[in-house]
Structure 1
Amino acid sequence: MHGGGRRRLARLGTLAALAGLLAACAADQTGSVLTPAVITVPEQAPKTTGRTRSDEADHAKLVASFGGEYRAPAAHRLITEITDRLVRASDRPEESYAVTLLDSPVVNAFALPSGRLYVTRGLLALAGDSSEVAAVLAHEIAHVTLRHATARSEMALRSQLVSRVVADVLNDPVTGAQLESQSKFTLARFSREQELEADTNGVRVLAQAGYDPFGAGRFLDALQRTMALKAGNGSAAEPDMLATHPATAERIALVTRAARRIGAPGLGADDRARYLAAIDGLAYGDNPGEGLVRGRRFLHPGLSIAFEVPDAFAIENTRNAVLGTTPEGSRRLLFDQVEASGDRSLEDVLRATWNDAIEAGSVENRIVGGRSVATALSRGKDWTFRLAAIRMGETTYRMIMAAKGATDPEPAFRRWLESLRPIEPEETASLKPAHLRIVTAAPGDTVEGLARRMSVPDRAVDRFLVLNSLQRGAVVKPGLSYKLVVE
């Protein structure tokens, strides 16, 4: 959950609305917030020598919307080398791209016709070798080389992308509206056929560049398994590369067939050892400045708040909210920040942000931990909700817990509410961001043993397997390198 900017008051309805919010938040967005997924811009704008001031401004806004630029010299050098190699093997070898790494855990990459290519650190963390990263980049570059949009579309829609990023992601609607009026730039969503065409073309270029063409299928499989892990936590996935692409199973089948037409598994390089060395130490997961999940605890140094969710809840930090669920999905929770003036009553905040009826006589105004709190009960058709609005300093937060059926979740909700507190300075100092550590397996090492060394909130074995492109039942091979998530 970001510390900068506050969400506007939004009215929520029944569980369907709450579930929609949960899905939207887990997808890194709420409401009309721009989905920063697979941003590929119309291709046919003529290139110029040198970038214009407008290009640089657009670049800065896009980078800001993804958390800023991520500095990792070794990884940047390798991704630049991979990109150059792919371009030389493409149908437009005269082109060139400037690579920018983005400080976002979201798995994503996109290419712009202005000659810029963006890769998130989340994608680098998931990929298992150079051929997998190259497969993603080849796909994105293919959208440009295949001329998947017209020059007129690019010119007419150019400002819309930037304005939406500014207005919705950066919470600057005034500047966003001004930029939109300039009518310059926008996001192009490619049709299903164009996505599949880019997949096929990407595999061909991947092989022509000397990389393992089966890397495309491996990466898509890892992406699909990552989404399944998030779904297993009860929250919708971030709007990663799946958001505007055809079904992943279909894409895996297509790229695997395309690779087999080129040759049998084993051809081309995957450059695994060099790739892993380049991403050793890469930041993993949430940026501490935007809040961290540590087991059942959530800590946000920037907002100076912390809380602990009840037993059985697994929580996930997203761009606009903290989401939680129990394994069976019968209880859910949401914590977010709302925009409300200090003179607005907390009861009014609750009613303004909730569409369903609040049970008569259920609103309570009290002091919890020295802070003003308003709580209420709401009963939907299939779910029962506990709501709270809390004022800490000049900031107002909202806590929502839902329980399936008619059971009031008040006992668990009360424990959660009472756990909300200011974060202590020593806690802030002790928080260490997670990062990747590349280790060499020793004789006797096992999947379970290495997974126990991971600093992850849950399902360590599953996360280790996905990160290292291993299937259930796989064995660790002495002498090979593996990714661990550590603090």
Structure 2
Amino acid sequence: MTKPGDDRPSHDQPSSVFGRHGSEMSGIQALKQSEYAGRRISVTVAALMRRFAPVLIAATVLNGCQSVLDQSYQPNVSPSSSPQIVSEVQKNDPRAQMGAREHPRILASYGGEYKDARTERLVARIAGALTSVSENPQQSYRITILNSPSINAFALPGGYLYVTRGLLALANDASEVAAVLSHEMAHVTANHGIERQKREEAEVIASRVVSEVLSSDLAGKQALARGKLRLAAFSRQQELQADEIGIRTLGQAGYDPYAAARFLNAMEDYSHFMTANSDADQSLDFLSSHPSTPQRIDLAKTHAREFGEEGKVGDTGRDYYLNGIDGLLYGDSPEEGYVRGQTFLHGGLGIRFEVPPDFHIDNKVEAVMATGPGDIAVRFDGVADSQNQNLTNYISSGWVTGLDPSTIRPITVNGMEAATARASADRWDFDVTVIRDRSQIFRFLTAVPKGNTAALQQTADVLRSSFRHMTPEEASSLKPLRVRVVTVKAGDNITTLAARMMGTDRKLDLFKLINALPSGANVAPGDRVKIISE
């Protein structure tokens, strides 16, 4: 359980080089994106702060580099057995010091590092091939795989590169990941991060809705803590420059230079899948703050043509890539709990609750969010309670503004001590419910447009009545979802393979998405495809 004093930023931090995925489901955006006095539920935060095994790539320690003129080149680069240590290589580099200051906050924001030797070796192999032909081969990089299901990658000054396991799950071959990493490297070598920090904005990032319902002191502290990490977005010109440099590096390393355009398409398809409507508000699209996707794809293909015709140049590295991600954790991690349909379950904490039908649960780092019809939004988190506070006193202790003291009342939720209250602010009405379980206080904040009392009561009642301890059998049966690479057999087709998918009601759509299968495509015996299962 995260403690109240932890300064934990949200996902919405450094801008992704390929664009930040910010698409949200319907509901109250401000409530979904905010933090209040509590923090994200996590059983093993300390364990997630381990240092990443050195995937430090420098040109002087690479093996197996071949001439960039050899178009038959197959990237097969691995780190040296005695890699240079980042603290030594970068100890006098002020840019690296900037990146080092933000690194712990990045880890906290994205669930820590994803530790898997096979996946680390895969990313190191890809990065090694790129570094040897980059604009600054002497630049060392610290590459971290983040334990997050979001689709994101970004760079900090001094060679700090980040890629989420969610992005690795979406990519279909090594060249697509190489396109992302080469783009990130381009931002580093072009010093875009330094320019970006010079333009960093001092902005208030606590949401309007939550700042209205919470005390100004706490909201201000949260804004200050998160503002330390929020960086201004890369400019349009910087993005296009990074595209050009990255694709040039991609091709020179022997990878398929058309992978950049291909993966931009894949991310746009993912955005549409998440919004479930291609006509949704594009201001929520993670590419919205960057050049339009059609423009970027056209420019990416133009740059790629300098190396030859599409399909006739470069290596995709598909087979060794699929080998490297087979078994990759997909979706929620055990430390953060699981979403299964309308239910949130956390085996480590031994709790579960349900949301009403037609609600969508979003398991974020800072809290569990749920949104439903009519702009109803729910936020769930927890705080440590070593002092065994009286819950009615806790609700009225100043962390909720707009509180109606006459509505505070003690209750019992499935045998656990609890308390509820109502609050109002601007256009919103709130139900606040706190539940004690051993040394934890769990908190539900439900928001509805002002006056919609029936919906507020109904939603809060579902949350309270469904919040309970998991049975030992329920806890032991919880297993994380993973990417499984399977070989298509005789008699298999897209429909039968998609039926094996788990964790989604849209099995066929997600199967096509993660395998980059367009409409009308089919599979043949011997093909290798990804499915999501336990």
Assess same fold via TM > 0.5. Answer: yes
Q: How far does residue 245 in structure 1 lie from its aligned partner after superposition?
A: 3.5
Q: Could you say if the C-alpha distance between residues 334 and 411 of structure 1 is closer, same or farther in structure 2, counting changes exceeding 3 Å?
A: closer
In the other structure, the counterpart of 1:43 is: none
1:428 to 475, 478, 485: 475
C-alpha distance in 1, partners of 2:156/2:452? 51
Q: Could you say if the C-alpha distance between residues 136 and 100 of structure 1 is closer, same or farther in structure 2, counting changes exceeding 3 Å?
A: same
Q: How does 1:174-323 map to 2 (within 5 A)?
A: 187=231, 189-232=233-276, 242=287, 245-260=290-305, 262-266=307-311, 267-323=313-369
Instruction: Using structure 2 for the length normalisation, give the TM-score.
Output: 0.69
Gaps of 5+ in 1: 9-16, 34-46, 161-170
2:391 and 2:419 in contact (8 A); partners too: no
Q: How does 1:269-418 map to 2 (within 5 A)?
A: 269-326=315-372, 329-330=373-374, 332-337=376-381, 342-343=389-390, 345=392, 348-349=395-396, 352-353=399-400, 355=402, 365-375=410-420, 386-393=431-438, 394-400=440-446, 402=448, 406=452, 408-409=454-455, 410-418=457-465
Report SS of the residue matched to 1:415: helix
1:310 and 1:415 in contact (8 A); partners too: yes
Structure 1 letter corresponding to 2:362: E
1:22 and 1:236 in contact (8 A); partners too: no
Query: Any idea what the Cα deviations from partners look like across 1:232-254, whole Å, max 9, x if unmatched?
Result: 399999x9964754444443333
C-alpha distance in 2, partners of 1:250/1:118? 25
C-alpha distance in 1, partners of 2:140/2:397? 53
Aligned pairs, how many? Answer: 437
Report SS of the residue matched to 1:89: coil
Q: How far does residue 138 in structure 1 lie from its aligned partner after superposition?
A: 0.8
1:466 to 506, 513, 534: 513
In the other structure, the counterpart of 2:192 is: 148
2:146 and 2:165 in contact (8 A); partners too: yes
Q: How does 1:120-135 map to 2 (within 5 A)?
A: 120-135=164-179
Structure 2 letter corresponding to 1:92: N
Q: How far does residue 439 in structure 1 lie from its aligned partner after superposition?
A: 0.5
2:501 to 450, 454, 459: 454
2:159 and 2:188 in contact (8 A); partners too: no
Structure 2 letter corresponding to 1:388: T
| Deviating more after overlay: 475-484 vs 185-194 | 185-194
| 1:438 partnered with 2:436 | no
Report SS of the residue matched to 1:484: strand
Query: Any idea what the Cα deviations from partners look like across 1:265-321, whole Å, max 9, x if unmatched?
Result: 202211111111110011111111111111221112343321122233332211122
| 1:50 partnered with 2:96 | no
Q: How far does residue 481 in structure 1 lie from its aligned partner after superposition?
A: 0.9
Report SS of the residue matched to 1:125: helix
2:434 and 2:441 in contact (8 A); partners too: no
Report SS of the residue matched to 1:330: helix
2:362 and 2:368 in contact (8 A); partners too: yes
C-alpha distance in 2, partners of 1:317/1:150? 32
C-alpha distance in 1, partners of 2:293/2:425? 35
Structure 2 letter corresponding to 1:4: T
Q: Could you say if the C-alpha distance between residues 318 and 379 of structure 1 is closer, same or farther in structure 2, counting changes exceeding 3 Å?
A: same
In the other structure, the counterpart of 1:5 is: 3
Report SS of the residue matched to 1:219: helix
Q: Could you say if the C-alpha distance between residues 448 and 407 of structure 1 is closer, same or farther in structure 2, counting changes exceeding 3 Å?
A: farther
Q: How far does residue 133 in structure 1 lie from its aligned partner after superposition?
A: 0.3
Q: How far does residue 69 in structure 1 lie from its aligned partner after superposition?
A: 2.5
Q: Could you say if the C-alpha distance between residues 426 and 21 of structure 1 is closer, same or farther in structure 2, counting changes exceeding 3 Å?
A: farther
C-alpha distance in 2, partners of 1:323/1:147? 36
In the other structure, the counterpart of 1:82 is: 126
Structure 1 letter corresponding to 2:303: A
C-alpha distance in 2, partners of 1:366/1:76? 49
Query: Any idea what the Cα deviations from partners look like across 1:73-129, whole Å, max 9, x if unmatched?
Result: 222222212212212222223333343322222222234453443322111111111
C-alpha distance in 2, partners of 1:113/1:363? 49
Gaps of 5+ in 2: 7-25, 40-85, 203-218
Identity, % of aligned pairs? 38
